[in-house]
Chains A and B, each alone.
Chain A
Amino acid sequence: MRKVGIAGVGHTKFGRAEIPLVDVLALAALEALDDAGVKTGKGNVDQVFVASMGAGILNRQSSVASALVDTLDLQPAMAETIENGPASGASAVKLGYMAIASGMCDVALVVGGELMRVVTGWEATDFVATMLHPDAEYAYGLTLPAFAGMFTRLYMDKYGVTEKDLAMVAVKNHEHAMHNPVAHIQLVPNFHAIIEDEDAHVINPYVAEPLRVYDVCPVSDGAAALVLCAMDLVDRFPKKPVRIAGIGQATDTHVVAEREIPTDLLAVRLAAERAYAMAGLKPEDIDVAELHDAFTILEIAISEEAGLFPRGEGHLAARRGDTRVGGKLPINTSGGLKAKGHPLGATGVSQIVEIVRQLRGEANGRQVEGAKHGLAVNFGGFGNNVVATILSKEG
């Protein structure tokens, strides 16, 4: 198999886009192509993979990859649209990796994007819930926040995680986002105000007990893009490509209630194990991580399942400040889904953009000094389809 690297990255400002989905995708794609020094026009990009969960439903547009190839003038590149729930982005990266590793092509463009703010918040919540089991979950009005709330209660009872721990994760990620110009929310919540103040229940009310507004990611529009290349072609690109060292993916029961141990995120553990094995690395080798914090509790739980901290101690690491920039193992330096935003299909790609920036030393105020290996965990369903990706700095 050929080694595969990332030669260019692009990322739109997450938040509210005032332009159509394909235009948002194109913005990120062009930034990535320019960053990689890859020209548009025939023959420069072999394949295009576009991740979007909601294009068909939210934007009433299907086959967005075909549309993107056209507007970018990349014909006759091969192209497909990938839907794997909120893990669509990392799935698209995995497929891009496979296309190059297999020898089928040399240069692939991977773009993830979503336009969610065309609908109201509760319609978006309903849309995201369509990935749940239609009869046993969705029909009840169960949603991702509902499962996250029930998971959080179990986690609190079992491991002693508190609402303050969760608020600490939120504040940390919002602080990180202040150094990331593409982050949606440019505002740091005040720890005392959102959790300790006697009015905290009003200004930071419960969304799905025990999770509050500031435990939940916002609804965002945006896109992120990568140019993948065969590492044997590294001389073609102005910046030294960051290598995709390992990818792991795993699935778990579709119906959340059927999980044997309800506090386990088995698919996260297996996906991470597979990625470490492929990369020949161990959790101790990871210098920086982007973990799917659609809810603050998930950053803690994923950090444990991915082996970064012992089971039940992720919140203690957060308390110690290990997971902030400057700590032992900074997590979600981009601001995470919590503060950077979570345009579903964009997220998995966006996480990898952040790791590339960290490994290149381009992360400015949020830079993790000397980072060599980074991990991204992109979480689909309520943990029933998870992709872990490990990137390594070459040389």
Chain B
Amino acid sequence: MEPRMYAYRCTACGKLFHPARAVCRRCGGREFEAVPLEGEGTLLTYTRVYALPEGYMKPWLGFGIVEFPNGLRVSGHMNTEDLTVGMKVRATVGVVKEGVGRDYYGFIFEKAG
């Protein structure tokens, strides 16, 4: 099955969150339904990290914070080298960290268009 990323919608008031949480910030609701979180967004800020933590065999990785049109902001990997604040990016989902017996999936953003 194709891995997907999700937003979590409060069933009481409809507010969206990512990642999942126990209590809705807006109404105190405690039930959420998962809805796919995908498509294009805007890059708010980014960095290229050279001092990567244990477990990465690369000289550097790009990270960014992206805002989706629904207002949700998430962190992810940046899979493009020429980055500018405000550029349009497209969310893809891929392995962001290889784990022992389990890989971790997350947002990997690419230049839109």
Please determine if A and B sit in direct contact within the complex, based on CB atoms under 8 angstroms apart. yes
B93 to chain A, nearest CB (A): 12
The reply to whether the CB of B36 lies closer than 8 angstroms to some CB of chain A is no
**Nearest Cβ distance between residue A133 and chain B, in whole angstroms?**
6
Query: How long is the Cα–Cα vector from A149 to B44 in the complex, in angstroms?
Result: 13
A143 to B51 Cα, complex, angstroms: 9
Give the residues from 17 to 39 in chain B that come closer than 8 angstroms, CB to CB, to chain A: 17-19
Please name all residues of chain B whose beta carbon is closer than 8 Å to the beta carbon of A129 when the two chains form the complex: 53
Q: Taking the complex as formed, is A126 at the interface, i.e. its CB lies under 8 A from any CB of chain B?
A: yes
| Residue from the list A121, A142, A153, A256 in contact with B51, Cβ < 8 A | A121
- The number of chain A residues with a CB under 8 A from chain B is 37
Interface residues of A in 240-284 (CB under 8 A from B): 255-258, 262
Proximity string of chain A (118-161) to chain B, C-beta cutoff 8 Å, 1 when within and 0 when not: 00111101100100010111011111011001110110010000
The yes or no answer to A206 lying at the interface (CB within 8 A) is: yes
Given A140-B106, A143-B49, A146-B49, do A153 and B54 touch, yes or no (CB 8 Å)?
no
Q: Does B88 contact A (CB under 8 A)?
A: no
- With A and B bound together, what is the CA distance between A120 and B54 in angstroms? 9
Q: Are A126 and B75 in contact (CB under 8 A)?
A: no
In the docked arrangement, what's the CA distance between A133 and B56, Å? 19
A135 B19 Cβ-Cβ under 8 A: yes
Indicate which residue in B17, B47, B77, B96 contacts A153 across the interface (CB closer than 8 Å). B47
Q: B85 contacts A136, CB within 8 Å?
A: no
| Apart from A122-B54, A150-B45, A207-B49: 9 A-B pairs, beta carbons within 8 A | A122-B51, A126-B54, A129-B53, A135-B106, A140-B76, A142-B63, A153-B85, A206-B50, A257-B75
Residues of B within 8 A of A (CB): 17-19, 44-56, 61, 63-65, 73-77, 85, 96-97, 104, 106
